[in-house]
Amino acid sequence: MITEPHIPDPDGFYAAWIAAHEGLTEAQSADYNARLVLLLANQCGDQQVLLDCIAAARESGNTPTTDNPRHPT
């Protein structure tokens, strides 16, 4: 798993990603993010790298609460 910056223009990428959410409802935005993750995962194609990324993202974020049924603790 690559953890150093690897995107030539990370600010441009982030701006394009945020712009893609314009005009979407919260639910549409969540669906868009899910589709994007699946497309990017398919591009990567390495299941172990993907599993490492899942674990790293989980560890670096907030712990989900029991209030959210999509993310049980």
Q: Which range marks the domain in which residue 39 is found? A: 27-57
Whether residue 63 has pLDDT greater than 80? no
Domain count, the chain: 1
64 within domain boundaries: no
Whether residue 70 has pLDDT greater than 60? no
CA distance 39 to 3: 20
47 within domain boundaries: yes
CA distance 8 to 34: 24
35 within domain boundaries: yes
Report whether 24 contacts 17 (CB < 8 A). no
2 within domain boundaries: no
- Per-residue pLDDT tens over the stretch 5-59: 999 999 999 999 999 999 999 999 999 999 999 999 999 999 999 999 999 999 9
21 within domain boundaries: no
- Residue 23, number of CB atoms within 10 A of its CB: 8
